[in-house]
Amino acid sequence: MTDTTSNKMWGGRFAAGPDAIMEAINASISFDQRMAAQDIAGSRAHAAMLAAQNIITDSDADAIGKGLLTVLSEIEGGTFQFSTTLEDIHMNVEARLKEVIGEPAGRLHTGRSRNDQVATDFKLWVRDQFDAAESGLLALIQALLGQAEAGADWVMPGFTHLQTAQPVTWGHHMMAYVEMFGRDLSRMRDARARMNESPLGAAALAGTSFPIDRDMTAHALGFDRPSANSLDAVSDRDFALEFLGAASICAMHLSRFAEELVIWSSAQFRFVTLSDRFSTGSSIMPQKKNPDAAELIRAKIGRIMGANVALMMVMKGLPLAYSKDMQEDKEQVFDAADNLMLALAAMEGMVKDMSANRDSLAAAAGSGFSTATDLADWLVRVLGLPFRDAHHITGSLVALAEKNGCDLPDLTLDQMKTAHDGITADVFDVLGVENSVNSRMSYGGTAPAQVRAQVARWKGIVG
């Protein structure tokens, strides 16, 4: 008797019934084919080691090595036929290798399992992403250093709560992002160093009885050492989680910067002009120049952070060692890596191409009572007032300026003296934004000399 309810559940796509459903959920070749180069590199290293240990013959190892290069060329050339029946990249490669070289292909899998094979492939792939992220971050930092050096003494408003706070320099603001992305660079490098241990040779979970040389395969694949525990080696995905964690923080930094570029490029601010290469027009409003690249970068954090959470949820309840759940470790990492590299490249391009509008920055720097803190500091430094008293006096002068529809430097000396009789004409020296930023000479401050010193330091770090 036919179970029509079950057939409806399987649906038209799964006309063959449960076998087709199992194939669809079990196969990973649709996405893990991205690891083909890493899979073949691992197999070539493994075959060479097997021959060196007299586990297989030199002639078999030679045939395997050459055959794997043939398979790789087919994959890179787009002529390789991937099969979902063969489930994953490992079995697809091995099946094709057997067609190419025959019986020696069957000896390749001696002393290993798909468990340590996939862990090795994935580690190699993620390691490549750490290297790509490092390159992208270095390029972005260089672009920011160029902006900082050019505008080391260009005044602009600094903000807290998106309200005018104190004058800073354009160079100082750019260097804030250099520090952020510098920490991202450090995280990428740190995580890469920690993950650089080879799982190959851990086999299914317990190691192998064959006299393999794990140091040989580790070094052949650029790892620092073999992993020290076979159970951990096949079940570890910390390296992917660390990549996603570092990528999430980096994407958050990119998103913050992108938000500022969206605000700064608006007609209300006019702080920066983005190039046509990273802007779009409107289909209906001809005056529009939209910062679409920045807006899309701002959105990437959702995908990347989502990938981080998704993989954490996959791993959180798994007992040792390998479980099929771990097949769900790759798609989100692939997507996050793609989007991080794209966002880094786009941000570098925007930073290199954008023009800071110095006049608009300077005009905004002097507005919004941005030198109020300088006035309070002057009252403390010159008149010896307690800071809380100076803060109160300055607040009353800000209120007076607001009442008169002017800024602090526009008040007369007589108006200043209504708040405190000890105020002299010297106070006007600190109310200019140029004087304000030049006075901030504390280490890490916004003074142009400090900005140039930090630019020089970072040039020494990144080359």
Cα distance between residue 407 and residue 401, in whole Å: 6
Cα distance between residue 130 and residue 153, in whole Å: 35
What pairing do the DSSP bridges indicate for beta strands 272-273 and 355-356? antiparallel
Cite the active site residues: 161, 282
| 3-state SS, residue 159 | strand
CA nearest to 82, candidates 96, 69, 70, 101: 96
Residues 6+ away with beta carbon under 8 Å from 308: 241, 244, 245, 247, 248, 336
Cα distance between residue 132 and residue 124, in whole Å: 12
Tell me what percent of the chain is helix, strand and coil, each rounded to the nearest 5.
70, 5, 25
- Long-range residue pairs from 272-276, CB within 8 A, at least 24 positions apart, any chain: 272/354, 272/355, 272/356, 272/357, 273/354, 273/355, 273/357, 274/350, 274/353, 274/354, 275/350, 275/353, 275/354
Cα distance between residue 85 and residue 308, in whole Å: 30
- Token pair for 345: 């490249």
Q: Which residues in 382-395 are b (16+ Cβ under 10 Å) and which e?
A: eeebeeeebbebbe
339 touches 300 (CB < 8 A) = yes
Q: Which residues in 159-183 are b (16+ Cβ under 10 Å) and which e?
A: beeeebbbbbbbbbbbbbbbebbbe
